[in-house]
Structure 1
């Protein structure tokens, strides 16, 4: 099986948005692995050409850059291509979670924090508990800052 590099934007006018151009050319999003915020994701598009035949294009993205599009002629080739790339997307997602587990910072929108909040407070109350905890920590930081300002040189215990 060979894959063809394909540039769907070669005839696109300068002022036309990429997504709009793809639509105008008959392409519609078909299937993807990984979301917009994923470290690595795959997108595919499908269009129907003369005679009712389907064709597909696929690109791979990290957070900043996309690969050239690869064109495949049928659903079987698309599934083969996705199967080849899916392990890389899964590995990137796993590495992201492991990196987050090892981080000492708290991110209220982080995966680890969301899972922990759901485990501690339940799925519906987890987000509220995270926000309340963040407010409490911010209040402690303001209190320590006010104490330092009121008594310069005094040693104040940092909030945890």
Structure 2
């Protein structure tokens, strides 16, 4: 949320306050952004997207996956589009591809529902972090995380 977006909200919802300047205040939390409104008021705006409840439900479902019998395997700890040359990892499929193209790496890797859901769980965990952490310092990375969250909500993995 930017000061300009808060300005629009204030103008629409509180026209009597339209003359008050809006300025971002230092961030200290992860739930709300604070914006000074004049010298005496503060606007508190949720940082979480509308997808938060579907994401919570998805996370709760993914947390019920059974442990891997063959041990957990991951090809790269930071497998995001900027680091990918050749990916053999289900995490990258969620970050890089929409629902149709995402099926190609799944088929090539022979991923069953359980492995596919584990890849989605890892992508969800990573996307939650990068989506908010990099908002200011690396907007492209933040956008990648938010796109992944949108993909997971729109087309969650089938649960085994």
Q: TM-score range by the shorter chain?
A: under 0.3
Query: TM-score, normalised on structure 1?
Result: 0.23
Greater fraction of residues in strand = 1
Query: TM-score, normalised on structure 2?
Result: 0.23
